[in-house]
Amino acid sequence: MRSDRPHIVFLAPGDPNQRTGGYGYTRRIVQCLRDRGHTVDLDGLEGAFPETDALAQRAMDNALDALEDNTVVIIDGLALCGLPALADRHIQRLRVLALEHHPLADETGLTQAQQAYFFQSEKAALARVGGVIVTSDFTARRLQDFDVDPSRIEVVTPGVDRPVPADAGKRLVSDRPLEILCVATLAPRKAQDVLVEALARCQDYDWHCTLAGSTDRHPDYVASLKAQIDQLHLNDRIELCGELEEQGLAEAYRNADLFVLPSWYEGYGMVITEALAYGLPVITTTGGALAYTASDQAAIKVQPGDAGALGAAMIQLFSSSERLQQLVAGAAQARDELQSWSEAGERFAKAIDTLLSGR
């Protein structure tokens, strides 16, 4: 291990082992940096984030206090709002960067007051850090609205593992239901309710849909979603299987014929590239970075929130094996062009060096 490499510490709110795309990205990057010989820690912060409470402020302050001078600190965007009040105590002796998946102000369902709070607090935090690593070109462009100069931004898109994809020919078999998979926390921004409404328009076709994702984070939304499914008499065709562990998730991808992500907005959409890595055709939206994450040859994209357009896109594939096969071929081509996690880790290490080279 090279002794001249700095100690790197990632700070994230709550349990870093949470099974979301953002936390998954951080865990994989941490492991890749360790594999490259870096000394890296990943620490969770207690307290309420992103609207920080006293416990969160103390947790951030204590975590930064415990670090030696010149430690590289990479703060997850969800925790950034806790930085401005502490910046003067720490910013000069530590080398602080931000990791942004998408701005907090872009979350779905915020009041105008919440949007303004997140915009101003995040803008203040981003002005104090030495640079920002983002997970998509879309987010890099978006941060210019926060007065972040492009020279202070580095883009490191997620990597993928490349499993051996299931036989694409099985997706043309007509004597069984077409299996639809959606992987996302059940939450308003992920818009599973729009997908359910779209599927209700497709009841003349033979399909089954699995919604894989945590049911614990937004209980009111989950209750409403279950009531919607029941009201539409789709209980036998739509399965809420909860959050899947790694093996179960891999099996779900292999068993699927089609991947659908109906989100209102994503800063990247890691599950899209995961689906492509399994050779799955994709239907998604143009919300945020989703307009760019998959190619038009591998995915059909519709406006977020448009259940009619989403249903029509699925009917295209239910009714035309030729159209489905076109997307399958596009997914196979896209799969070959995806970067590995090792490549993403290399780019992340270079991004750190680039952003800190001016200090």
Tell me the C-alpha distance between 148 and 346, whole Å: 24
Q: What is the pTM of this model?
A: 0.91
DSSP structure class, residue 340: B
Q: Residue 288 carries which DSSP code?
A: B
The order of strands in the sheet holding 258-261 is 238-242, 207-212, 178-183, 258-261, 282-285, 299-302
CATH numbers and ranges of domains, the chain: 8-159+340-356 (3.40.50.2000), 168-337 (3.40.50.2000)
Radius of gyration for the chain, computed over Cα atoms and rounded to the nearest angstrom: 21
Residue that is written with structure tokens 């799955």 in the block: 280
List the chain pLDDT tens, one digit each, 359 residues: 455 688 999 999 999 999 888 999 999 999 999 999 999 999 999 988 888 888 988 898 899 999 999 999 999 998 987 776 667 778 889 999 999 999 999 988 889 999 999 999 999 999 999 999 999 999 999 999 999 999 999 999 999 998 766 555 455 556 789 999 999 999 999 999 999 999 999 999 999 999 999 999 999 999 999 999 999 999 999 999 999 999 999 999 999 999 999 999 999 999 999 999 999 999 999 999 999 999 999 999 999 999 999 999 999 999 999 999 999 999 999 999 999 999 999 999 999 999 998 64
